[in-house]
Amino acid sequence: MRTLKGPAIFLAQFAGDEAPFDTLDSIAAWAAGLGYKGLQIPSWDGRLFDLDQAADSKAYCEDVQATLAEHGLVVTELSTHLQGQLVAVHPAYDEAFDGFAAPEVRGKPSARQAWAVEQMHKAARASANLGLENHASFPGALAWPYVYPWPQRPPGLIETAFDELARRWRPILDAFDEAGVNVCYEIHPGEDLHDGVTFEMFLDRVDGHPRCNILYDPSHFVLQQLDYLAFIDHYHERIKMFHVKDAEFNPTGKQGVYSGYQSWVDRAGRFRSLGDGQVDFAGIFSKLAAYDFAGWAVLEWECCLKHPEDGAREGAPFIAAHIIRVTERAFDDFAEAGSDEAANRRMLGID
């Protein structure tokens, strides 16, 4: 067993145009002041990070590390959630997702997809230049419009979608393998990999690729009514990253999992700040410690009610209080009486 690293914070929901959220140095000072020890950096946000430079320049990466070190911080991982989403986009979502891409490829699905793949290759090199072991991303989705179909899906539709998703990702996974970095897909509704079954479908199609791994976020499982503790039992060997995010599910006689197209505040399933929802974090941290999870506990703040700065301020001590400093000896060692093979045989009545 080992002690989880943390607390850390994902910066995507906090970056902005005003201080202290507009530069890496100032947001690092803010996060350190709240008690965080690591930063997970969104690679698409040019206010904080330059992916092109990081992919090609170790000197730039050293400067990033030095900036954080001045505040007692380290980079935990990079994220390409937006770029990874664009590796596979169903045409129904072309316009909705165009804003994730560089302006020059918007409105051009093929060019946008090629740009996203190039971004992923850059992220592999940048992660290696930063000495990172894991990387966060979304897989994208081709089959999602057919998740609960009417009319019925034609035979082979889902198989074709997953075959194509694997075809697109296999070269990217190979590039990350060359860089020595794991791709950790956030298992998330809206993605083709949204639960354990769909992750296995994808994993089978990439031949159990060693770099195909999981970013575990229990909030998405609460909203699906999936057993998020048992999920760890099934997939702990593939879980390499952990978003600490809370959620609640309060179905009524009028709405359930699908939430009736309501805004976040009116949904039966809602994301909440840490401690305000229903997630059993004591159970999660215990399981991850028992399974020797080697990664970081990273706050991802998404709450429909609480101010983000309050969520961040409360998040660091919440995570710190849940991190289990694992024991180096058994609790009943004091009663050890000593033994040897001969004594063991006598105790068992074996001549």
How many other C-beta atoms can be found within 10 angstroms of the C-beta atom of residue 339? Answer: 10
**SS3 of residue 298 by DSSP:** strand
pLDDT for 335 equals 60
**pLDDT value at position 29?**
98
Tokens of 294: 């080697």
| Of 288, 279, 280, nearest in space to 240 by CA | 288
CA distances from 36 to 159, 186, 319 (A): 43, 22, 10
Q: 5-347, superfamily in CATH?
A: Divalent-metal-dependent TIM barrel enzymes (3.20.20.150)
Provide the CB-side half-sphere exposure for 98 (13 A, CA): 13
Residues whose CB is less than 8 angstroms from the CB of residue 97 and which lie 6 or more positions away in sequence, other chains included = 85, 86, 89
What residues contact residue 138 under an 8 Å CB cut-off, 6+ apart?
80, 81, 82, 84, 85, 185, 186, 188, 191
CA angle 169-174-177, nearest 5°? 125
Identity of residue 201:
M
Residue pLDDT tens, the chain, 351 long: 899 999 999 999 999 999 999 999 999 999 999 999 999 999 999 999 999 999 999 999 999 999 999 999 999 999 999 999 999 999 999 999 999 999 999 999 999 999 999 999 999 999 999 999 999 999 999 999 999 999 999 999 999 999 999 999 999 999 999 999 999 999 999 999 999 999 999 999 999 999 999 999 999 999 999 999 999 999 999 999 999 999 999 999 999 999 999 999 999 999 999 999 999 999 999 999 999 999 999 999 999 999 999 999 999 999 999 999 987 776 666 567 677 888 888 889 997
pTM of the model: 0.94
Q: What is the SS3 assignment for 186? A: strand
Burial status of residue 18 (CB atoms within 10 A of its CB: 0-12, 13-18, 19 or more): exposed
Residue 200 DSSP SS3: helix
- pLDDT value, residue 328: 75
Q: Phi and psi of 84, rounded to 5°?
A: -60, -35
Predicted local distance difference test score (pLDDT) of residue 331: 65
User: Residue 198 and residue 144: Cα distance in Å, rounded?
Assistant: 11
Q: Are strands 239-244 and 182-186 parallel, antiparallel or unpaired?
A: unpaired
Q: Which residues, including other chains, have CB under 8 Å from residue 122's CB and lie 6 or more apart?
A: 51, 52, 54, 55
CA atoms within 13 A on the CB side of 71: 23
Helix 109-129 vs helix 58-69: angle between axes, to the nearest 10 degrees? Answer: 60
Q: How far apart are CA 212 and CA 182, in angstroms?
A: 7
The pLDDT value recorded for residue 346 is: 86
| Ranges of each domain in the chain | 5-347
Confidence at residue 113, expressed as pLDDT on a 0 to 100 scale: 98
H or E stretch including 84?
Answer: helix 81-85
- The pLDDT of residue 336 is 72
Bridge partners (DSSP) of residue 214 are: 185, 239
SS3 185: strand
Sign, CA dihedral 136-140-143-149, equals: positive
Own/partner pairs, 261-268, CB within 8 angstroms, 24+ separation: 263/304, 264/304, 265/304, 265/305, 267/304
Looking at residue 260, the DSSP 8-state letter turns out to be G
> Cα–chain-centroid distance for residue 276?
20
Q: How far apart are CA 193 and CA 198, in angstroms?
A: 5
